[in-house]
Amino acid sequence: MLKHSLRWLTGLGAAGALIAASATPAVAAPTIEPYFQDATLAVGSEATIRGLLLYADEPTVLSDVSVRYDYRSLANKITVTPADGQECTAPEPGVLVCTEPSDVVLYEMPPLGSGIYRNGAKRVHLGLTEDAQLGDSGDVAVSFQAAGGRRGSHTSRVRVGEGVDLAGGPFTSLSAKPGGKFTVPLVVANAGDKTVTGFVAVFDLPYSIRTKDRFSNCRYSDDHLVSCQFEEDIPVGTGLATTLNLELAKDTYAPANHSGYAQFMTTADFEDLTRVRAAVGARAAAPGNGPKLALAEAPGRVRQADQTDVGPGYDYTGWTIKATGKNGTDLAAIGATLKGTAGTVVTATVGFRNNGPATLDRTNGDFEAATHTDVELPPGTTAVEVPDNCWLRQDTTRTYLCASEMLLVAGQTYTTKFRLRIDKVIPNARGAVRVNAPCECPAGGGFQDDIKPANDRATIVVNAAQGGGGQGDGDGDGDGGGGGGSLPITGAPTNLIAGIGALLLVTGAGCYLLARRHGSRFTA
């Protein structure tokens, strides 16, 4: 079972370990965008599982949810049946209506601050009847309704195709120093009983692994390889191979192991995954302008029928690159200097800066933070607004623990804003910001190998405003202090989601919502 982030390609990824335990409904009902992925079903194969995903740009809770599957355009061709034990009825042929047994709570998807909230309804099986024929195609209209008049719909394409079985080559290991170049094999085989006519390799590479090649049949996001599409046939019992020229970024953490993967899928399965990307506002990754990346000499053939991989589970290959030498990370705390009168609400912009030289990449399928930061409020102040990624430490009344993103890029600043009310002016009232704070988290707490722990702590200082007043709008100032000064919030590169190239292909309504909030920064 692939344990890295390619699981997200199926749309079944969990909301993550860093989300809040519960979500509070927004006062104004947010827009709910449903998404049900296209499917290609193979004649003679087992049913495929699909689930309705619900996206919003605010946290919300949906009650009394029912989901309607209308597949009348494929009447007598496909079947839709419950997969998760939900209660369903069939009010007419070609229609299934299922009720959710409990509320559907939409949680924020990683990375922190994504602004996308998601959860899924109970899943269903999509299968074929004996009347289904190769080449049949139709739509499944999936709609939901919930209490308060909440509703939405999405129409997906379902095709009847030919079943094949792709298999990836063996995993390999090698080593390179930060900034060093290396070559990895890319091997795919036909493990089925029918010729594979064209396929796609989708890459799941960490932030550290780059390429300078620009093959015309591949797509890239900056120096990150996203996918390659091949027209070559793979006859039964044979395989194709090539090599990829890659390199480690100069800011790669070392010593450490950096793993990458490639998942192979049929052309139709790739189309099912990505067909809606343009409609939802996803910005396309750039194709290369060089020669084609060829796996082997093979006569080009017209694709005779849509194909789907009926033997997933070993349709990928991977590489582990051991980064040699020493290249560490210095996280420096950023404090704040605040001024105001009693009753004034001031903004403390606090956090930390990655002074490098290495990027800290803790990306994993459990969505654990790379580090945690303690924010201790100065005496005489009260927090009136706290960031979503922070919570009050147990057995304390003034110290908040804040989770970072999974990817902390060298040279970038990661800050967050606390709104503090000055209840009483105490001269030089001091609080603290401590990066790499301990946390009782499944994967541990702070980053333990900081190369300069002396700057892990900065102060938050509150004093009376000169002249007896705060800012004109009642806000005091909140100048950054401590290690690194006050730099703009940057976070991860906007065209990457936690440094994982494969995630750039996760489309659906979530891309539209992020594009609406952040200016079409998704890539697919």
- Show the domains of the chain with their CATH numbers: 5-161 (2.60.40.10), 165-325+498-511 (2.60.40.2310), 329-482 (2.60.40.10)
Contact 209, 258 (CB under 8 A): yes
Using CA atoms, how far apart are residues 524 and 220, in angstroms rounded to an integer?
Answer: 9
Using CA atoms, how far apart are residues 391 and 396, in angstroms rounded to an integer?
Answer: 11
189 contacts: CB under 8 Å, gap ≥ 6: 166, 167, 168, 169, 234, 238, 239, 240
**DSSP secondary structure letter of residue 492:** S
Contact 409, 492 (CB under 8 A): yes
CA 512 to chain centre: 14
Per-residue pLDDT, 483: 34
- pLDDT 10s digit of each residue in the chain, 524 long? 223 333 333 332 222 211 222 222 333 455 788 889 899 999 888 899 999 989 888 888 999 999 999 999 998 999 999 999 899 999 999 999 999 999 999 987 766 666 778 899 999 999 999 999 999 999 999 999 999 999 999 999 999 999 999 999 889 999 999 999 999 999 999 988 999 999 999 888 889 999 999 999 999 888 889 899 999 999 998 999 999 999 999 999 999 999 998 989 999 998 888 877 666 555 567 889 999 998 864 334 434 566 676 666 688 899 999 999 999 999 999 999 999 999 999 999 999 999 999 999 987 766 778 999 999 999 999 999 999 889 999 888 899 999 998 889 999 999 999 999 999 999 999 999 999 999 887 666 668 899 999 999 999 999 998 754 333 334 444 444 333 332 222 333 222 222 223 333 343 334 434 343 333 323 33
Q: Which of 184, 187, 201, 289 is nearest to 244 (CA)?
A: 184
Per-residue pLDDT, 32: 86
Per-residue pLDDT, 481: 39
Per-residue pLDDT, 473: 37
Per-residue pLDDT, 110: 65
Per-residue pLDDT, 251: 97
Q: Which two tokens stand for residue 519?
A: 């200016």
Residue 401, H or E segment: strand 399-403
Q: Is the pTM of this model over 0.75?
A: yes
Backbone φ and ψ for 510, nearest 5 degrees, come out as: -60, -35
Through-space distance between the first and last CA atoms of the chain, rounded to whole angstroms: 24
Task: For 263-331, give the secondary structure using H, E and C.
Answer: EEEEHHHHHHHHCCCCCCCCECCEECCCCCCCCCCCCCCCCCCCEEECCCCCCEEEEEEEEEEEECEEE
Using CA atoms, how far apart are residues 510 and 521, in angstroms rounded to an integer?
Answer: 12
